[in-house]
Structure 1
Amino acid sequence: MTTQHSAIEADRALKAKHRAMWAQGDYPSLAVELIPGLGAELVEACGVTPGRRVLDVGAGSGNAAIPAALAGADVIASDLTPELFEAGQRFAERQGARLTWQEADAEALPFGDAEFDTVLSCVGVMFAPHHQRAADELVRVCRPGGTIGLLNWTPQGFIGRMFAVMKPYAPPPPPGAQPPPLWGEESHVRELLGDRVTDVSTERRTVRVDLFSTPEAFRDYFKERYGPTITVYRNIAGDPERVAALDRDLADLARDADLGTGAGRTVLEWEYLLLTARRAA
């Protein structure tokens, strides 16, 4: 009993840290400025139509949930970090979208079995620390014959490489936690979902990002707005040499990846995996 209680408390503490991580910075503005079209791509790939009951897992400020609602679906945007909902509600109101916002842990969704026609996640569920638990929940709440749609950064792409750059400076992951970019590996996601899904379709795509004038501007933008990057810098805040090293490493990452096609701009291509599947009967 003591061991079980300790595990429960450890999980609560971990989720509290994740919630706090995403509540800092300004992820809503980052999503709007850098990847505004990805949610709509996922919604289109999932074939969302009017009247469908849709759950967005790790919805953040509604990058996918709002386009699903605008397509006429009955949408719940769920996220571990409800602090993101205020911005999402403003975005939805400006676009005339109606949807429900609900706090929820991707590894223990507060919904019934087979409750949704479509369960999707746009660079959201990938940050749940225990991948199999999260995948089990995606499948559980999707009705037989319903659609599961996922859009996640790949390990080989720019964001996956950014996480690899930050890893030596980050606090050690808790036992059992897996790296988020693994959700961008087709073989990993297929293994997570197993024979509970059919008609799996995958495609690697890229989104072009040309907001930044210099590699250093990219670094500073993420230092100010992106929760995982802010957390890593806070971990090494007492060591100026390591802070300077991470500053160099992140700027060098963008410098090496720069396509060099923008006059006075740093032009980046961020790779992601788009996967759709049907829950087996």
Structure 2
Amino acid sequence: MTTPLKEKHRAVWASGDYAAVAADIIPELGALLVEAAGVQAGQEVLDVAAGTGNAAIPATLAGARVTASDLTPSLLEIGSKLAAERGAELDWVEADAEDLPFDTGRFDTVLSCVGVMFAPFHQTAADELVRVCRPGGTIALLSWTPAGFIGHLFGTMKPYAAPPPPGAQPPPLWGDEAHVRALLGDRVTAVEARTATVRVEAFAAASAFREYFKHNYGPTLAVYRSLADDRDRTAALDLALDELAARFRAPDGSMEWEYLLLTARRSGAPTGA
């Protein structure tokens, strides 16, 4: 059932140009996650909150049978075109990360690259990741950290944004290893986690970051739209984002955005073992 909250989230991610963000800022992260997950030819793989296929397409090119799921149909349409351009054939399914329409234990590997972290109810989403992964299968997640740039971005926008629904948790918590371990609990074993950074060189100035995200990144665009009639608060957010970007910029103008990459094995004997 589609709820007003889900419609709002769908609209946020349909706004702007997330395909450009994925291609311009983080093109390598999906392939990196696929490699860390050990995706192999013939495996059944699910990419949750797949967006335009940043992980799903590399998984397909590795020879897996891939299903890319996302709440936002327009992103799936773009992803399907991108996949066709690269000769990748996979299934694209509109689906809520908190209520996946797949059989229990269907997939050998369940992935999410800066995707499931934006589902508002973390435990519900984590329960679904575990449910659809077969015993002995792999769950692999890449998420922005609270201490990294995107974590600070959401912290900077929070005072200007509408309050979240009761019970919702901040997206960057998925970048906290202890939080994710608690979400998955004893239903997984062999947890491996590491933090790393992606180097971003797309912005010639701090203001260039602000303008790019203001017009292309759904969550930032949504906050600005909510301030459309308040010039003072809009200007204050402009300044706050410029100051944030300036703090994270190196002398050469590059930025390092931190993420957590976590892999785990679904508890239970592997099917067929």
CA displacement at 1:40 relative to structure 2: 0.3
Alignment partner for residue 196 of structure 1, among 183, 187, 195?
187
User: What residue is the counterpart of 1:107 in the other structure?
Assistant: 98
User: What residue is the counterpart of 1:267 in the other structure?
Assistant: 254
Counterpart code for 1:269: E
Distance in 1 separating the partners of 2:202 and 2:165: 34
Paired residues for 1:53-202 under 5 Å: 53-202=44-193
Superposition TM-score, scaled by structure 2 size? 0.97
Aligned residues: 268
Counterpart code for 1:180: P
8 Å contact kept, 2:195–2:260: yes
Distance in 2 separating the partners of 1:205 and 1:96: 30
8 Å contact kept, 2:206–2:245: yes
8 Å contact kept, 2:76–2:94: no
Counterpart code for 1:268: M
- CA RMSD for the aligned pairs? 0.8
CA displacement at 1:160 relative to structure 2: 0.4
Distance in 1 separating the partners of 2:43 and 2:173: 29
Counterpart code for 2:257: W
Q: Give the match's secondary structure for 2:69.
A: strand
Q: Would you identify which runs of 4 or more consecutive aligned residues in structure 1 move more than 3 Å?
A: none
Gaps of 5+ in 2: 269-273
Alignment partner for residue 278 of structure 1, among 260, 265, 268?
265
Gaps of 5+ in 1: 1-7
CA displacement at 1:234 relative to structure 2: 1.0
Of residues 11-20 and 70-79 in structure 1, the stretch that sits farther from structure 2 once superposed is: 11-20
CA displacement at 1:93 relative to structure 2: 1.1
The question of 1:47 aligning with 2:38 is answered yes
User: What residue is the counterpart of 2:271 in the other structure?
Assistant: none
Counterpart code for 2:264: A
CA displacement at 1:85 relative to structure 2: 1.4
Distance in 2 separating the partners of 1:256 and 1:188: 27
Q: Give the match's secondary structure for 2:52.
A: coil
Superposition TM-score, scaled by structure 1 size? 0.94
Q: Give the match's secondary structure for 2:182.
A: helix
Deviations 1:215-268 (A, max 9, x none): 00000000010000001111111110000000000011111111112xxxx311
